[in-house]
Amino acid sequence: MTASRREFLQRTAAAAAAVGLASAARPTAAEAAPGLTFQGDDSHKALALRAIDAAKTAGADYADARISSARSQNLGTRERRVTNIGDNETFGFGVRVLVGGAWGFAASSNLTADEVVRVARLAVAQAKANRAAMVRPVELAPIGPPVPNGVWRSPARIDPFTVAIEDKVAYLLEANAAAMAAGARFVNSNMFFLKDEKTFASTVGTVTQQTIFRAQPGMTITMVSPDNRDFQTRQSTDIQPRGLGYEHVLDSNLKAHAARWAEEARQKLSAKPVEVGRYDLILHPTHLWLTIHEAIAHPTELDRAYGFEANYAGTSFLAPPEEKLGKFRYGPDFMNVLADRSAPGSLSACGWDDEGVAPEDFYIVKDGMFVDYQTTREQAMWLDWWYKQQKMPTRSHGCSYAQTWADVQFQRMPNVNLMAGEQDLVWEDLIAATENGIAIIGDGSFSIDQQRYNAQFGGQLFYEVKNGKITGMLKDVAYQIRTPEFWNAMDMVGGKRSYELGGAFGDGKGQPAQSNAVSHGCPPTRHKQVNVINTGRTA
């Protein structure tokens, strides 16, 4: 075991106590913001540099190394008992190289001075083997000036790993008790935390160290009818995951919501089954984020458009790019979709992506027209013609991400957001303006085809809207859409005041499959005459 390894083990316990409160500010300059320090191991920097040097010596034209020590924690409860308490830790490094235009990657959990060299050479050997089957060499888009000492940290105020287990357990069991006092038959609640300390170095000369936090508290309340003929659940979709620390759990206050969620689950048992037909849908941000994820964020991934995900996640209806960019109308003039990795507390936020690019906010849909894809350095070059035409620099949008040190980084979605409208409208205004509709709160079932045309979504709560008023609860509702029609049928959008962030941890793509965490901000929207089906059947 190396010195750095020993230090890491000693530090993990110590680091937990040392973090405390930190500035919530995000560095805007490429260099470290004052007051922000990397919590991980400084010796990682030297090892990352050693890895890329070894790769260069072995013949790499470009190399990057990522060292990560990630700690996560799961707590689960049901009713009055704790079902699991688990701490997980994964530590290792990955080296990616480009040799003569072909990629190679290798990774190991054994971070020693010898192993980084062995693995770097192995990655070069992989690339050389791949070169034999290469048709088109990889070219990387230009990158800004190197950042030799970048530091970034999620704006977490309380490191979750400094909070006592007893406090976390008490928080969950109190929330369960509140739900049961309100009549819940079953209740599950949980917390998940991640702290990932990532060191990155590339042959460009950039070296960054980032500390990423994620937090998600959640609960599911189940009501069963007295005769066992029916059961209904309410998930805590009012609470969304964040790139924050334990303060997100405290702010979420599950206990304060539990009785209402239990009551809503009870109401679902006696809700009226929906009548099949076309309705105007009013979609709450706690629901709409998932529709945006599936029907805007995924089809605008450039690797999908080129067929690189054909064997797993699928391709895209937005292809080929030369027929879609600047030509495809996604929605009405007031539809704007902005991608970012900067929103404070969002899941995709970072200082630099996993190939050392400082991400910038960029429009995917501008005034209703499709104008750009999500890109990495390799992919930005594929759109060189478009950026030249637009008089924009050909550069990566900073969408490179790997779920762990053991996975090769590739294009993953940033936060993809539907922007608020100019009018100061809120949820209630959209309902008041609707004659015959269904209002949907919270995300539920979701499924979409491999080119992102045909989708079906459920939800948590469905309300019948008649003449501007909610007239009762519905159940067994799902809506089916064809993506282009659905967004072009959007006729109302909430204002800034009604904009909220939703999101998820488990966004899958790639082979081997990798999971991404991403937020989607949006206001409530209204969509005219959407096809609604009834999903209720009897076993």
Partner 1 sequence: MTPLKSLAQGVPAGAILTRDQAQAIAERVVKMSKADAINVTLGTNYNTNVRFADNQMSTAGSVVDAGVAVQSSFGPKHAVVTTNDLSEASLRRCVEQSEVLARLAPDDPEAMPELDPQQYARVDAYFDSTAAVDAATRAQAALTALAPARKAGDIKTAGFLIAGAGCNAIANQKGLFAYHRSTSVNYTLTVRTTDGTGSGWAGADHPDWRQIDFEKVSARAIDKARRSMKPVAIEPGRYTVIFEPQAVGDLAQLVAFYADARQADEGRSPFSKQGGGNKVGEKIVDSRVTMYSDPSDPQLLAQPFDGEGMPIARQVWVENGELKQLQYSRFWAKKQGKAPTGGTTSLKMTGGSATMEEMIRSTERGILVTRLWYLREVDPRTILYTGLTRDGTFLIEQGRISRAISNLRFNESPLFMLNNLEMLGPSERLAGTEAGGSVAMPAIKVRDFNFTSLSEAV
Q: For partner 1, give the closer residue by CB, 11 or 26.
A: 11
Please give the residues from 137 up to 176 whose contact with partner 1 meets the rule CB under 8 A. 164-166, 169, 173
Q: Does 389 bind partner 1 (CB under 8 A)?
A: no
Q: For partner 1, give the closer residue by CB, 98 or 338.
A: 98
Q: Rounded to the nearest 5°, which phi and psi values hold at 227?
A: -95, 10
Number of H helices, E strands in the chain: 13, 25
Q: For partner 1, give the closer residue by CB, 480 or 515.
A: 480
Of these, 14, 145, 435, 511, which contacts partner 1 (CB under 8 A)?
511
Q: Does 82 bind partner 1 (CB under 8 A)?
A: yes
Q: How far is the CB of 418 from partner 1 (least distance, A)?
A: 22
Largest CA distance in the chain: 73
Cβ-based burial of 240 (10 A; exposed 0-12, middle 13-18, buried ≥19): buried
Q: How far is the CB of 317 from partner 1 (least distance, A)?
A: 7
Question: Regarding beta strands 410-411 and 400-401, do their DSSP bridges make them parallel or antiparallel, or are they unpaired?
Answer: antiparallel
Total residues in contact with partner 1, by rule CB under 8 A: 95
Q: For partner 1, give the closer residue by CB, 186 or 363.
A: 186
Q: How far is the CB of 424 from partner 1 (least distance, A)?
A: 36
Of these, 37, 90, 235, 515, which contacts partner 1 (CB under 8 A)?
90
Cβ-based burial of 523 (10 A; exposed 0-12, middle 13-18, buried ≥19): buried
Q: Does 529 bind partner 1 (CB under 8 A)?
A: no
CB atoms within 10 A of CB 165: 12
Of these, 449, 466, 469, 496, which contacts partner 1 (CB under 8 A)?
449
Q: For partner 1, give the closer residue by CB, 434 or 514.
A: 514
**176 Cβ contact list (under 8 Å, min separation 6):** 77, 78, 79, 80, 187, 189, 219, 258
Q: What string marks each residue from 250 to 279 as x (binds partner 1 by CB under 8 A) or -? A: ------------------------------
Q: What string marks each residue from 459 to 498 as x (binds partner 1 by CB under 8 A) or -? A: -----------------x-x-x-x----------------
d(CA 355, CA 270): 53
d(CA 159, CA 196): 12
Specify the length of the chain in residues. 539
Please give the residues from 38 up to 77 whose contact with partner 1 meets the rule CB under 8 A. 58
Q: What string marks each residue from 396 to 415 as x (binds partner 1 by CB under 8 A) or -? A: ----------x-x-x-----
**Amino acid making up residue 382:** W
Nearest to 273 by CA among 508, 478, 65, 493: 478
Give yes or no for a cis peptide into 512 (omega within 30° of 0): yes
Please give the residues from 296 up to 325 whose contact with partner 1 meets the rule CB under 8 A. 306-312, 314-315, 317, 319
Q: For partner 1, give the closer residue by CB, 24 or 169.
A: 169
β-strand partners of 95? 65, 106
Q: For partner 1, give the closer residue by CB, 228 or 467.
A: 228
3-state helix, strand, coil in the chain (%, to 5): 25, 35, 40
Q: For partner 1, give the closer residue by CB, 371 or 532.
A: 532
CB atoms within 10 A of CB 449: 13
Please give the radius of gyration of the chain, using alpha carbons only, rounded to the nearest integer: 24
Q: What string marks each residue from 119 to 138 as x (binds partner 1 by CB under 8 A) or -? A: --xx-xxxx-xx-xxxxx--
